[in-house]
Amino acid sequence: MDTRLLQRNDLAYRFETFTLDSADGQRHYQVWVGLPHRPAPAKGYPALYMLDGNAAVEALDPALLAQLDQGQAPVLVAVGYAGGQRIDRSGRTFDYTPQRPAGEQRDPMTGEPSGGAQAFLRLLQGPIAERVNALAPVDTQRTALWGHSYGGLFTLGVLLDQPSAFATYIAASPSLWWAPGWATRRSLGLAGRLEAPRRLWLMHGEAEPARPRPNLPPAQETAAGLARVLSAVPRLSVRYQGFPGLGHGPMLAASLRQALRWLNEEGGM
């Protein structure tokens, strides 16, 4: 991964970093925290937690950071993996996927261990959030979570199971094929779990394939269809955007940059 931006001292943000391990000691994380230079609001800064943090920081640039500083100025929390790989396939396969209802917890595409989403959420809400809050005061009522692909699947899972964890959920190109029909089924009880209004922003590249590999079944759900289903949930505001001509890979940077623009425009982030 390219970390040259994070080392510059002429930006609207400064970056701090820390490392920590998973509770079972099997995965090792590096977290980059982008801190605005402007003073914190009385209730603290808004914050955006970004999954696949190694790749997420590469989507940032000086002009975008300057725009954020002139707008909502959120704290940026890029949760990546130690080692410098842009995408840590094994780590994210385990961390970002829900448990399957029955059978061995193996990823259907890679065969690697999966099903660690609940443990990873505890890490986000516990040790990682504690370290972030020690660096800057954060308004817990104005936090957002962004994820792409498996990260989008994780983001949806947190909203559907524990919607109080964040205020805004941004799921880009979620891997809905991973557990066909799972998101729609979980949405049936979402209204009863929403203790306060929440926002969901769904994005999808219009050139993305229906399945990641020919030997896997296509998703029973689409991001656009899921947006329509979830739009009927009381107290959940849903926004959907398709990206013409974009495939799965390019959607990572495009969706993150769009999410940051939307967050910067929204006065109630």
> Hey, what's the torsion of the CAs at 195, 48, 74, 41, to 10 degrees?
30
Q: Which entry of 28, 90, 112, 248 is annotated as an active-site residue? A: 248
Contact 184, 229 (CB under 8 A): yes
DSSP helix/strand/coil, 53:
helix
Token duo for residue 221? 């759900």
Token duo for residue 16? 């701090």
Q: Which entry of 22, 114, 149, 173 is annotated as an active-site residue? A: 149
Contact 120, 110 (CB under 8 A): no
Q: What is the Cα–Cα distance from 150 to 155, expressed in whole angstroms?
A: 9
Q: Single out the residue of 135, 151, 58 nearest to residue 97, CA to CA.
A: 151
> Across the beta sheet with 13-21, what order do the strands follow?
13-21, 28-36, 75-81, 45-50, 138-148, 168-172, 198-205, 236-243
Contact 200, 239 (CB under 8 A): yes
Q: Is 16 among the catalytic positions? A: no
DSSP helix/strand/coil, 216:
coil
Q: Which entry of 58, 175, 204, 208 is annotated as an active-site residue? A: 208
How far apart, in Å, are the Cα atoms of 50 and each of 17, 242, 257?
Answer: 14, 20, 11
Q: Enumerate the active-site residues.
A: 149, 208, 248
